[in-house]
């Protein structure tokens, strides 16, 4: 049997659909489900999926609402969501693969692989000070938006730049905003540079490399980047914005263009559970861990979770009193009391998503929403953080 097929069967075995046995676990799952669905209803969210994993086993799987309207199509196991910036973690894994193969060092300057960066304005010294590690930890000083130049008065504009040449043309108008490594500032642009390095060192387009080296070995056979294959199009969720009480549909089946390395992944929840299985690992099963190591050795994966620099709280990084966030290498670390969670969030085009894992207990949750409610009384972002804190209290710390 080919190794990736063997891995697929093993992953299906480690993450069964049924609840774990034990009345306490089932009761807790029922209470969490009620809390979650009440929050979705209150915030006007049309469709969402939530899965909880404890000790490597699924203890709650809830598919809520609709993936499309007119006619309504319910969310189910096959619904394909857009995962937005959660994609960055897979890009980071690809960079670590290239590092482990001796093709790069995380402390290499970006300009070593992208000489076009020579035209970027850097008032803090030579651009060669900005390293791969800096952009993986959002501390390279680059702006947040990949493509901030647009006219808000125009009715139509490209969703994202589609070609590398567009970014190169704007590099003389790009600057490094602070000394590299001195502080955190989220940067989509920096992750696009990582995608370009992957292409140049591997010789494959980014999406092809990811299919060969991450998605296929993990058995994520229904996952892909950008527009849907025809045979999977019917499963792709639509997405909506809710503003001032009015619901509007966002562009469907869109192309993330040159930004696919920082936000292009589309996948059903079943495939994302295979990804979580890889992140959680299975040290008690040597054969399964060998298969995971084909993608990335456990030591290299855990290296990515070491905190690098504190994250200043803001609307997108909310922490309750006593908790805080740090950026690691393509992941974030959320600390709440004695609990440390590793994860990432995503938001784009009406979709919001979040996953967190606790490696010590092999516990995790993953949630995704297809409606971005943005009013004070109905707000998907706020509910997502409320849900995280509720799960910390009622799931992880139980």
Q: Residue 190: its pLDDT value, please?
A: 97
Overall average pLDDT of the 279-303 stretch: 93
Q: Residue 82: its pLDDT value, please?
A: 98
Using pLDDT thresholds of 50, 70 and 90, give the confidence band for residue 162. confident
pLDDT tens readout for residues 141-158: 999 999 887 776 665 555
Task: Tell me what the pLDDT averaged over the chain comes to.
Answer: 92
| 219 backbone φψ class: left, alpha, beta (φ>0; ψ -120 to 50) | left
Q: Taking a C-beta distance cutoff of 8 angstroms, is the pair 137, 333 a contact? A: no
DSSP code of 211?
I
Overall average pLDDT of the 284-291 stretch: 88
Q: Taking a C-beta distance cutoff of 8 angstroms, is the pair 117, 127 a contact? A: yes
Entry pTM: 0.92
Closest to 280 (Cα-Cα) out of 51, 100, 70, 112: 51
Is the per-residue pLDDT at 16 higher than 90? no
pLDDT tens readout for residues 38-82: 999 999 999 999 999 999 999 999 999 999 998 999 999 999 999
Is the per-residue pLDDT at 18 higher than 80? no
> How far, CA to CA in Å, does 152 sit from each of 70, 148, 155, 157, 358?
30, 11, 8, 9, 42
Let me know the angle formed at the C-alpha of 368 by 228 and 188, rounded to the nearest 5 degrees: 70
Pairing type for strands 240-243 and 371-373 reads: parallel
């Amino acid at each position: 049997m080919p190794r990736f097929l063997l891995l697929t069967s093993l992953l299906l075995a480690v993450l069964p659909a049924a609840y774990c046995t034990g009345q306490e676990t089932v009761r807790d799952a029922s209470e969490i489900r009620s809390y979650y669905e009440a929050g979705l209803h209150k915030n006007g969210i049309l469709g969402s999926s939530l899965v909880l994993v404890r000790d490597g086993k699924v203890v709650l799987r809830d598919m809520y609402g609709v993936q499309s309207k007119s006619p309504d199509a319910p969310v189910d196991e096959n619904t394909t969501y857009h995962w937005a910036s959660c994609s960055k973690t897979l890009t980071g894994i690809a960079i670590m693969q290239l590092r482990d193969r001796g093709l790069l060092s995380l402390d290499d300057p970006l300009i070593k692989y992208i000489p076009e960066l020579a035209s970027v304005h850097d008032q803090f010294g030579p651009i060669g000070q900005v390293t791969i590690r800096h952009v993986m930890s959002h501390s390279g000083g680059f702006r947040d938006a990949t493509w901030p130049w647009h006219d808000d008065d125009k009715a139509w504009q490209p969703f994202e730049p589609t070609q590398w040449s567009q970014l190169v043309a704007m590099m003389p108008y790009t600057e490094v905003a602070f000394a590299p490594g001195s502080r955190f500032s989220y940067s989509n642009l920096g992750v696009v540079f990582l995608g370009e390095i992957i292409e140049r060192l591997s010789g494959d387009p980014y999406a092809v490399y990811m299919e060969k080296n991450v998605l296929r070995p993990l058995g994520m056979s229904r996952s892909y980047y950008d527009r849907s294959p025809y045979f999977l199009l019917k499963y792709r969720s639509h997405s909506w914005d809710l503003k001032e009480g009015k619901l509007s549909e966002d562009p469907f089946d869109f192309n993330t263009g040159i930004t696919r390395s920082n936000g292009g992944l589309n996948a059903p929840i079943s495939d994302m559970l295979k990804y979580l299985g890889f992140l959680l690992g299975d040290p008690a099963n040597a054969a399964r861990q060998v298969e995971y190591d084909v993608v990335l050795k456990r030591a290299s994966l855990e290296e990515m979770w070491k905190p690098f620099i504190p994250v200043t709280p803001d609307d997108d990084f909310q922490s309750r009193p006593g908790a805080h966030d740090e950026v690691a290498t393509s992941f974030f670390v959320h600390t709440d009391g004695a609990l440390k969670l590793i994860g990432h969030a995503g938001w784009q085009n009406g979709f919001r998503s979040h996953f967190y894992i606790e490696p010590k207990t092999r516990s995790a949750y993953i949630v995704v929403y297809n409606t971005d409610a943005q009013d004070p009384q109905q707000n998907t972002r706020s509910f997502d953080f409320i849900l995280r804190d509720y799960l910390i209290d009622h799931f992880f710390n139980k």
